[in-house]
Amino acid sequence: MKDKKYTKKERKMVSGSANGGSGALRYLWKNKYLYLMLVPALIYYGVFCYAPMGGLVIAFKSFNPMKGILGSPWAGFATFRKLFSMGKFYQVFWNTIRISLIRLVFGFPFPIIIALLLNELRSVRVKRVIQTVIYIPNFISWVILGGILTSILSTDGGVINGLLTSLGAKPVGFLTDERFFVPTMVVSMIWKTFGWNTIIYLAAMTGIDPQLYEAATVDGAGRWQKLWHITLPCIRSIIVVVLITRIGSLMQAGFEQIFVLYHPGVYGTADIIDTYVYRIGLQDGKFELATAVGLFKSVVNFILLVIANRTARMAGEEGIF
């Protein structure tokens, strides 16, 4: 199996060795069909991603739509200074990091575990039903789920607290008590998304060569050993890719969810950058501020992503670039 994996990495399907310094153009011409296949994507990225990206300079400008983005006067770091001088900024920054990290630590492995457990199910029918059911919450928006959660978790007639009190415990203010709010957010976020997130691992497992398992069975490998030595290694690269992208989105702590469910009583722990900035007036058209916040988050995400990718590559993984 190890050998097989190795040959996979040895891909030489590009024509022309190009080690003779034959020049970029000749190389391009030799592989013209390959590069041609990239053209639509290049156009897309050029037009819809890189062209608008120039607009990021709004963060450093005093934006005047009459003068356009380029013609507006420069404002230097004024917007950033304003942002960083807000007393609450640091609090919401750390809240964002904290919530994201907790979500990463618990939310990242969970779908993998569920995918592995699903893979161990005997009955295809049961597997299909369960799979179909667990991805449903992903389709229900937080606005709707939020309403359902507040009824389920209510201290006044909610199902969960009903159970707790019947077991002799005190009712828990899952959404009102500051100590429980963030855990509630994390658990409900995982609960909503894990089913959807298993899809990708299940797809990866489908690609595993059945012969590997058969050979292992012949060798007398048990279930656990097969899981550990075949299934996991075979989906490792996709796990790494998902992990890297999640690390690269650490500054996204789930705006929609928190926005729907939070309230002033839990601002201390639950107010994140996105909700804070929304409240202080993103919705009423402070575009410089919006752009500055976006840029700040992008830079932090980007640094994290590069570090994660570098680390993965050093560990012998492919990484994402």
Partner 1 sequence: MMARTERTKASSHIRESLGSRIFNVVNVLLLGFIAFTTFYPFWDCFVVSFSSLKGYLATSVHLWPSEWSLEGYRYMVSSAELWSSYANSIIITVGGTAINMIITIMAAYVLSKRNLKGHRVLMFLAVFTMMFSGGIIPTYMVVKDVGLMNSLWAMILPTAVNTYNLIILRNFFLDLPAELEEAALLDGCTEAGVLFRIMLPISKPAVTTVTLFYAVDHWNDFFSAIMYINKKQQWPLQLFLRSMLFQNDAAYASGGESLFLLGQPMKMAAVMMAIIPIMCAYPFFQRYFTAGMTVGAVKG
Partner 2 sequence: MKKNTGTTRKLASALLAAVMLISAAGCGSAAPQTTEATGGDAQPAAAAGTEQEADTAAKTDERPTIRWLTTGDAAAKAIEDGDRIVEAINERLGIDLQVEIVPEANTEKVNVAMASGDFPDIVTGAYGTSATQSWIQNGMVIPLNDYLDDNAALKEWLEQDYPWSAVDGAYYGAPFIAQYNVANTLIVFRQDWLDNLGLEYPQTLEEMKEVLIRFTTDDPDGDGKDNTYGFTAEGPSSTTGATPFDWVFHAYGLEHGDYALNEAGEIIPTFDDPSFVPAMNYIKELWDLGVIDSELMLNDTSKKEEKFYQGKAGAMQAALFRHVSRHESSLQELFPEASICYDLAPAGENGKRGLSRQGKDGFMTCVTAACEHPDKAAAFINFMLSEEGIELVRLGIEGVHYTKDGDTIVYNEEEREKDAFAPNGWAHALAWGSFFWPLESGYIPLTDPNRERALETVELATKCQVPNLVKQKTPAEISDKSALNDIFIQYFSDMLQGKIGIEEGQKKLDAEWRANGGDAVLEEVTAAYRAQETQ
**Residues at the contact surface with partner 2, assessed by CB under 8 A:** 18-19, 21-24, 27-28, 42-43, 45-47, 50-54, 63-71, 86-88, 147, 150, 154-157, 173, 175-176, 261, 263-265, 267-268, 279-281, 283-287
CA 296 to chain centre: 18
Measure Cα distances from 48 to 57, 265, 293 in Å: 17, 41, 21
204 binds, among partner 1, partner 2, none (CB under 5 to 8 A by kind): partner 1
> First vs last Cα of the chain: how many Å apart?
26
Residue 56 vs 280, nearer CB to partner 1: 56
237 binds, among partner 2, partner 1, none (CB under 5 to 8 A by kind): partner 1
Nearest to 202 by CA among 270, 289, 132: 132
Residue 289 binds to partner 1 (criterion: CB under 8 A): no
Residue 85 vs 206, nearer CB to partner 1: 206
Q: Least CB distance from residue 113 to partner 1, whole Å?
A: 10
Residue 163 binds to partner 1 (criterion: CB under 8 A): no
Residue 62 binds to partner 1 (criterion: CB under 8 A): no
Phi, psi torsion values for 276, nearest 5 degrees = -60, -50
Residue 261 vs 292, nearer CB to partner 2: 261
Q: Least CB distance from residue 139 to partner 1, whole Å?
A: 4
Residue 24: Cβ within 10 Å count: 9
Residue 7: left if φ>0, alpha if ψ -120 to 50, beta else—which one?
Answer: alpha
Token output for 267: 């601002």
Q: Do the beta carbons of residue 216 and residue 226 sit within 8 Å?
A: yes
Q: Rounded to whole angstroms, how far apart are CA atoms 18 and 182?
A: 55
DSSP code for 58? G
Residue 51 vs 101, nearer CB to partner 1: 51
CA 71 to chain centre: 36
165 binds, among partner 1, partner 2, none (CB under 5 to 8 A by kind): none
111 binds, among partner 1, partner 2, none (CB under 5 to 8 A by kind): none
Measure Cα distances from 240 to 190, 270, 315, 317 in Å: 19, 29, 11, 8
Residue 237 binds to partner 1 (criterion: CB under 8 A): yes
Q: Do the beta carbons of residue 92 and residue 272 sit within 8 Å?
A: yes
| Residue from 2, 33, 74, 167 binding partner 1 (CB under 8 A) | 33
Residue 157 vs 207, nearer CB to partner 2: 157
Beta carbons within 8 Å of 34's beta carbon, 6+ residues apart: 14
Residue 78 vs 187, nearer CB to partner 1: 187
Residue 114 vs 270, nearer CB to partner 2: 270
CA 159 to chain centre: 31
Residue 148 binds to partner 1 (criterion: CB under 8 A): yes
Residue 124 vs 314, nearer CB to partner 1: 124
Q: Rounded to whole angstroms, how far apart are CA atoms 91 and 263?
A: 16
| Residue from 92, 99, 118, 266 binding partner 1 (CB under 8 A) | 118
Residue 307 binds to partner 1 (criterion: CB under 8 A): no
Residue 214 binds to partner 1 (criterion: CB under 8 A): yes
Number of residues that bind partner 1 (CB under 8 A): 109
